[in-house]
Amino acid sequence: MAISDILKICYLLGSLSFIVGLKMLSRPDSAKKGNLYAALGMTIAIIGTILFHENVNHETGEVTRITNLPFIFGAIAIGTVVGYFAAMKVKMTAMPQMVSLFNGMGGACAALIGLVEMNTHHPVEFGERLIIFLGVMIGTVSFAGSMIAYGKLEGKIKDYGSKIMQVTNNTIVFAILGFIVFLSMSEPWSDVLIWAIFGASMVYGILFVLPIGGADMPVVISLLNSFTGIAAAFGGFMYDNQVMLTGGILVGSAGTILTILMCKAMNRSLWNVISGAFSATGPSSKSMDGLSTSEISITDTAIMCAYAQRVVIVPGYGLAVAQAQHTCHEFEKALEAKGVEVNFAIHPVAGRMPGHMNVLLAEADVSYDKLKEMEDINPQLPNTDVLIVIGANDVVNPAAETDPSSPIYGMPIIKANTAKNIIVMKRSMAKGYAGIENELFYDKKTRMLFGDAKVMLEKLIAELKNA
Which residues are identified as catalytic? 394
- Assess contact for 391 and 318: CB atoms under 8 A: yes
User: Rounded to the nearest 10 degrees, what angle do helices 31-52 and 242-266 cross at?
Assistant: 150
Cis (ω within 30 of 0) for the bond into 283?
Answer: no
- Assess contact for 194 and 118: CB atoms under 8 A: yes
- Assess contact for 140 and 202: CB atoms under 8 A: yes
Query: Which residues lie below 8 Å from residue 375, measured CB to CB, with a gap of 6+?
Result: none
Query: Which residues lie below 8 Å from residue 394, measured CB to CB, with a gap of 6+?
Result: 215, 400, 408, 411, 413, 432, 433, 434, 436, 438
Task: Encode 143-165: b = buried (16+ Cβ within 10 Å), e = exposed.
Answer: bbbbbbbbbbbeeebebebeeeb
Q: Give the rounded distance of the alpha carbon of 200 from its chain centre.
A: 25
- Assess contact for 316 and 350: CB atoms under 8 A: yes
Task: Encode 17-49: b = buried (16+ Cβ within 10 Å), e = exposed.
Answer: bbbbbbebbeebeebeebeebbebbbebbeebb
Closest CA to 124 of 180, 186, 67: 186
